[in-house]
């Protein structure tokens, strides 16, 4: 018996890295899987190849599972609707969406062009919208459904050179939270994972010094995609019915629960504030509670999926 016995799961980005491990594990846990992957490069924007998704689907079938491949883009609503139709036609239903599909176009913000911004937003944020919007009414009608979206500490905490990626991934956090709140009465859940794992995206990180080389080596050896998949599949399953609206991270064998933005301090002035009094009194009173700009460099390393 597996935690996904009898369920149908759509896994985006399923040809490699975290997506592939999620697809393989979901199948081992009893799910029928639609393996989606555009088959493009890490930077996106190319035509792609249907072969990589089919290779994952073949691995699942060879191991005795059930899977079909799909090579549409999550950034295209028409393509996403075809994924859903394929799940219905092939397996008669859909119960969970695991959505790690993504691209990277890293660049300092003052050097970023519109194309780099738009491409990353389209895949990560628009893609999360597409797979959620295309399925949410079905999930609500059957009063069962789980979304496992992927965020990043680049958005939750910050990372230099990834303004496009960070904006998209923080947007996914907001989307997931609202979907969870609105879906609670209909048993529709949504959670997000900030992963730490060696994938082909991580392999694109420039190694500029010994410290970064050591960090990348540690990630490659100790932070694997299959470790992230364990949590993703658990969240997809009905056994996690009590878990929704949460932010998790996986780092090796460590599972982290993040807090979520809430007020940390307030100051009031009976006569109201002026720009000068804010500078003289309010900001100094709050300074010790400010979030350090350098926190991301010391708490969590660079971690795009």
Strand order in the sheet with 32-36: 66-70, 32-36, 8-11, 96-99, 145-150, 188-196, 247-251, 254-257
291 - beta bridge partners? none
Q: Got the DSSP string for the chain? A: --TTTT-EEEETTTTSHHHHHHHHHHHHTT-EEEEE-----TT--S---SHHHHHHHHHHHHTT-EEEEE---TT-HHHHHHHHHHHHHHHS---EEEE-------B-GGG--HHHHHHHHIIIIIHHHHHHHHHHHHHHHHT-EEEEEE--HHHHT--TTBHHHHHHHHHHHHHHHHHHHHHGGGTEEEEEEEEE---TTGGGS---SHHHHHHHHHHHHH--HHHHHHHHHHHHSGGGTT--S-EEEEETTEEEE------------TT---HHHIIIIIHHHHGGGSPPTTHHHHHS-----
Mean pLDDT of the region 142-171 = 96
**Residue among 230, 168, 159, 223 nearest 196 (CA):** 223
Catalytic residue of the set 129, 147, 165, 302: 165
pLDDT in tens, 212-239: 666 666 666 677 999 999 999 999 999 9
Confidence of residue 197 (pLDDT cuts 50, 70, 90): confident
Tokens 């300092």 sit on residue: 108
**Residue among 293, 176, 198, 52 nearest 168 (CA):** 176
Confidence of residue 296 (pLDDT cuts 50, 70, 90): very low
**Residue among 99, 79, 85, 78 nearest 14 (CA):** 99
Decide if 129 is catalytic. no
Residue 146 contacts residue 237 (beta carbons within 8 Å): yes
Judge whether residue 82 has pLDDT over 80: yes
Mean pLDDT of the region 108-122 = 97
**Choice between 301 and 134, residue whose per-residue pLDDT is larger:** 134
For residue 300, the model assigns a pLDDT of 42
| Contacting residues for 277 by C-beta, under 8 A, at least 6 apart | 269
Burial state string for 268-285 with b = 16 or more CB within 10 A and e = fewer than 16: eeeeeeeeeeeeeeeeee
């Amino acid at each position: 018996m597996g935690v996904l016995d009898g369920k149908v799961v759509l896994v985006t980005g399923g040809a490699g890295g975290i997506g592939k491990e999620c697809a393989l594990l979901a199948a081992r846990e009893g799910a029928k899987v639609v393996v989606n992957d555009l088959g493009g490069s890490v930077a996106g924007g190319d035509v792609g190849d249907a072969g990589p998704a089919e290779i994952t689907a073949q691995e699942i079938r060879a191991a005795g599972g059930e899977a079909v491949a799909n090579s549409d883009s999550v950034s295209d609503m028409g393509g996403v609707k075809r994924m859903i139709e394929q799940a219905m036609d092939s397996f008669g239903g859909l119960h969970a969406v695991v959505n790690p599909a993504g691209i990277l176009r890293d660049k300092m913000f003052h050097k970023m062009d519109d194309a780099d911004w738009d491409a990353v937003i389209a895949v990560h944020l628009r893609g999360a919208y597409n797979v959620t919007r295309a399925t949410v009414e079905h999930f609500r009608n059957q009063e069962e459904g789980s979304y496992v979206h992927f965020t990043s500490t680049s958005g939750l905490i910050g990372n230099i050179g990834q303004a496009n990626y960070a904006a998209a991934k923080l947007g996914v956090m907001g989307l997931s939270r609202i979907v969870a709140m609105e879906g609670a009465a209909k048993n529709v859940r949504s959670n997000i994972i900030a992963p730490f794992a060696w994938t082909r995206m991580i392999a694109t990180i420039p190694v500029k010094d010994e410290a970064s080389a050591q960090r990348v080596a540690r990630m490659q050896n100790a932070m694997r995609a299959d470790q992230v998949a364990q949590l993703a599949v658990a969240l997809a399953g009905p056994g996690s019915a009590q878990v929704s609206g949460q932010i998790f991270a996986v780092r090796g064998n460590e599972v982290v629960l993040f807090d979520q933005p809430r007020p940390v301090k307030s100051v009031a002035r009976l006569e109201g504030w002026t720009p000068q009094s804010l500078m003289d009194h309010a900001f100094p009173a709050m300074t010790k509670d400010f979030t350090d700009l350098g926190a991301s460099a010391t708490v969590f390393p660079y971690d795009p999926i």
